[in-house]
Amino acid sequence: MPFSPRLTCLSLLNLNKPKTTHHLKQIHAQLITNSLTSPSLLAKLIDQYCAVSSFPHAHLVLKHFGNPNLLLLNTLIRCTRPKHSILVFANWVSKEETLSFDDFTYIFVIGACARAPSLSTLWEGRQIHGRVLKRGVVSNILVQTTTIHFYASNKDVYSARRVFDEMAVRSNVTWNAMITGYCSQRERTKECARDALSLFRDMLADVCGLKPTDTTMVCILSAASQMGVLETGACVHGYIEKTVCVPENDVFIGTGLVDMYSKCGCLESALSVFRRMKDRNVLTWTAMATGLAIHGRGKEALELLDAMGAYGVKPNAVTFTSLLSACCHVGLVEEGLHLFDKMKSNFCVMPGMQHYGCMVDLLGRAGHLKEAYEFVMGMPIEPDAILWRSLLSACKVHGDVAMGEKVGKLLLQRQPEKSAVDVIVRSEDYVALSNVYASAERWEHVEIVREDMKIKKIENKPGCSSVQTMNNCLLDAL
């Protein structure tokens, strides 16, 4: 059989063994030497360059190809870093007369906007969505679904829902994207959780007859846990048992059930699901440790750390946050300090702000205010306002006015002043310092703090409470 440079290069690119940039440059040189310009072959080369993070060389493949080629452009947009993908697309917008974009171009570039959520990316994604509407490719279900994912990733669930409602045809992936979008919001969690449950009810009643997948149910369990309504969560559990799968056989659904029952106040049900699960990953163990922590069973949560090791599961940063929180709830000071030391030395987990916050809370609750203050001052990272507020609260509880005054003044020094752009100044720190003075009956200092608030026009936020009602419509649908 005669030697074929094309087949040789194709075989080298298809090999599963890891490649280096130097190796790929040698293949690239062979393609140039033998004048091999097959778009499919060059697309594989772009893919391989991006796989080893050699993005400049991937750009060169497209730049030196000669005639504009949509396959190479789409491959580069799909494989390179999100920000680079958006820049590549923007550079080719002016050349669209010589190279018309197709549905895949928009799918890949909107997907890049979803993977790099930020204010600038939100603006850029909206511009791309406008081009989609202008070019008339909005009817493609994959383009629409990716657009929903993009808006939800950028915390714009209203725009995501508008795209969803305008769709004539939806797939399981579309429903999952919208439901996941609601459940992934870090603000207005309960409101978004209600919307997710309502959308799930609509999915069950949809005339197209689409059935929820395991991904759907994991998201719905997350929504139920955010709502904290046990009846809703139990009904979702029953629906999973009847129509989806055996929860104990699916590690993600099982983990979702453990989390849901724990946060809905039914710890024994969470433990029952946990014990019946055949496979458990680090998320499962963390969810169970968190459940034990929030129910005040700190020693059992700490015992999970040893059990994890026996099962060959390595704890992560979130696991240690849950375990340190357990120590805080029960007042296990020595255990918490020992656990904090083991994080880095035994498990190579670098402490983050949340771990330092747990330690300050632990020491503060136990009345070790001086140790807590020294701990904060010795931190290798800059303490945030939440950490200082935790210590200030402990000073009020234990009646240490001197320490409370010191911490309170440090907090007020961190306060931004109101400016022309109307920077919001938090009132909580002023009120907290005022309460420390009031607890010691130092009324003249209380008056000084309150007067300072009036001069700076800092208004105290009114308190509020909410009443949770059960979603009967969802229960009927299930």
Q: What is the DSSP string of 317-329?
A: HHHHHHHHHHHHH
Q: Of 173-177, 437-441, 452-456, 459-463, give the range with the top mean pLDDT.
A: 173-177
Identify the pLDDT of residue 147.
93
User: Do 196 and 220 touch, CB atoms closer than 8 A?
Assistant: yes
For the chain, percent of residues with pLDDT exceeding 70? 80
Confidence of residue 458 (pLDDT cuts 50, 70, 90): low
Identify the pLDDT of residue 459.
60
CA distance 458 to 119: 29
107 or 455: whose pLDDT is higher? 107
Q: Which amino acid is at 454?
A: K
For the chain, percent of residues with pLDDT exceeding 90? 12
Average pLDDT, the chain: 80
Determine the distance from the C-alpha atom of residue 478 to the mean position of all C-alpha atoms in its chain, rounded to a whole number.
28
pTM attached to this predicted model: 0.74
196 has a pLDDT exceeding 80: yes
H helix or E strand, kind and range, residue 48: helix 39-51
CA distance 354 to 80: 33
Number of helical H runs and strand E runs in the chain: 27, 0
164 has a pLDDT exceeding 90: yes
Among the listed ranges 26-40, 151-165, 351-365, which one has the minimum average pLDDT value?
26-40
Q: Which residue has the tokens 């008056």?
A: 447
Identify the pLDDT of residue 442.
67
Confidence of residue 416 (pLDDT cuts 50, 70, 90): low
User: Do 187 and 196 touch, CB atoms closer than 8 A?
Assistant: no
Identify the pLDDT of residue 268.
92
Q: What is the pLDDT of residues 289-346, one digit of tens each?
A: 888 888 888 788 888 888 888 888 888 898 888 888 888 877 888 888 888 888 888 8
Confidence of residue 63 (pLDDT cuts 50, 70, 90): confident
Residue in 26, 21, 29 with CA at minimum distance from that of residue 54: 21
pLDDT, average across residues 157-166: 92
Confidence of residue 423 (pLDDT cuts 50, 70, 90): very low
Which burial class, exposed, middle or buried, applies to 142 when counting CB atoms under 10 A from its CB (0-12, 13-18, 19+)? Answer: middle
125 or 411: whose pLDDT is higher? 125
Residue in 226, 249, 224, 244 with CA at minimum distance from that of residue 234: 224
Quickly list H helices, 331-384: 333-347, 353-365, 369-377
Residue in 410, 401, 407, 418 with CA at minimum distance from that of residue 453: 418
Confidence of residue 242 (pLDDT cuts 50, 70, 90): confident
CA distance 58 to 85: 12
Residue in 366, 390, 387, 389 with CA at minimum distance from that of residue 378: 387
CA distance 123 to 109: 13
pLDDT, average across residues 191-206: 88
Q: What are phi and psi of 265, to 5 degrees?
A: 90, 10
CA distance 401 to 439: 8
Backbone angle region of 67, left / alpha / beta, with phi > 0 → left and psi within -120 to 50 → alpha: beta
186 or 43: whose pLDDT is higher? 43
Enumerate residues 6+ apart whose C-beta is below 8 A from 42.
31, 61, 65, 72
Report DSSP state, residue 249: G
What is each CA distance from 257 to 18, 102, 323, in whole angstroms?
39, 42, 20
pLDDT, average across residues 406-427: 59
213 has a pLDDT exceeding 60: yes
Enumerate residues 6+ apart whose C-beta is below 8 A from 171.
141, 145, 210
287 has a pLDDT exceeding 50: yes
160 has a pLDDT exceeding 90: yes
447 or 478: whose pLDDT is higher? 447
Confidence of residue 26 (pLDDT cuts 50, 70, 90): confident
Residue in 109, 112, 78 with CA at minimum distance from that of residue 93: 109
Q: Of 186-200, 201-215, 278-292, give the range with the top mean pLDDT.
A: 278-292
Structure tokens of 293?
Answer: 């922590």
426 has a pLDDT exceeding 70: no
Burial 212-229 (b: 16+ CB within 10 A, else e): bebbbbbbbbbbbbbbeb
